[in-house]
Amino acid sequence: MTVRLTHTSDLTPAALDAVRDLLTDAFDGDFGDEDWDHTLGGVHALIQDERGPVAHGAVVMRRVRAGGRWRRVGYVEGVAVRADARRRGLGGQVMGALEGVIDRAYDFGALSASDEGARLYAARGWRVWGGRICAAGPGGVVRLPEEEGTTYVWVPPRTPPGDPVGDVSGDPVGELVFDWRDGDVL
C-alpha cells in the first residue's frame, strides 16, 4: 500500500465522508465537527484499499509564536489507522509523508498526542515540547497546562543550531503560543 498526498480541495465529497468515517471509528466516536474542521484545509496523507481509507493524517498551517516571532507551522491532525490494519507500519508511512511536507513547507511541525499516538511520534524523532504551551485567545494569551507534556514538535533537519524552536539533538524549550481556534485549541 502506498501513501497518496492530496489537498483537501482535491478530495471528493464521498472521499471526505470516508475519511471522516475512518476518523470517527478510530477515535471511538470522540471525533466531532470541530475536530473534523481542524483536519481540513491542508495536505492529507491517505492509504486506501478496496474498502476505502486504511490510514490517514493531515498537516494544516498554523501560526505559532516561538522564540519571539510568529512562525508558519505544519500542525498534524487526524492521524488514524483502521482497526483491522493496525500494527503494520501504516501510521509510520503516513507520518513519513507528512514529515516530508513539513520539512519542505514549514518552519517546524507540531501536534497534540494521545497516549497511544505518543509512542509512534517519539519513535519517529518527534520531541515533547519542554516549555509552556499557550494560545493567543480573544482575551489575550492563555496558558494551556493540560497540553504541556503532550505537545510534540518536529524540527526539520535544515533548522540551524541554536534556533529557539530547539535543536533536534536537544530538548525544545521556551514558550509556544498557538493561534486560537474553536474547539480544542490544540
What pLDDT is stored for residue 109 in this prediction? Answer: 95
- Reported as a single tens digit per residue, the pLDDT across 120-148 is 999 999 999 988 999 998 899 999 999 99
In a domain, 64, yes or no: yes
Mean pLDDT over residues 19-24, rounded? 96
Residue 167 has pLDDT above 70, yes or no: no
In a domain, 185, yes or no: no
What pLDDT is stored for residue 3 in this prediction? Answer: 97
Q: What is the CA radius of gyration of the chain?
A: 16
At residue 82, what is the residue type?
R
In a domain, 105, yes or no: yes
Q: Which three cell numbers stand for residue 61?
A: 498551517
**CA gap 165, 33 in Å, rounded:** 31
Q: pTM for the complete prediction?
A: 0.91
Instruction: Give the residue from 110, 112, 90, 93 showing the smallest Cα distance to 102.
Output: 110
Q: How many domains does the chain have?
A: 1
Kindly report which listed range (32-41, 74-83, 109-118, 164-173) carries the lowest average pLDDT score.
164-173
Residue 176 has pLDDT above 50, yes or no: yes
Q: Which domain holds residue 29?
A: 4-179
**CA gap 183, 37 in Å, rounded:** 10
What pLDDT is stored for residue 164 in this prediction? Answer: 58
- Reported as a single tens digit per residue, the pLDDT across 52-64 is 999 999 999 999 9
pLDDT-based confidence at residue 90 (cuts at 50, 70, 90): very high
In a domain, 104, yes or no: yes
Residue 52 contacts residue 22 (beta carbons within 8 Å): yes
Residue 10 has pLDDT above 80, yes or no: yes
Residue 16 has pLDDT above 80, yes or no: yes
Domain with 53 in it: what CATH number?
A: 3.40.630.30
In a domain, 186, yes or no: no
Mean pLDDT over residues 101-117, rounded? 93
In a domain, 184, yes or no: no
What pLDDT is stored for residue 162 in this prediction? Answer: 65
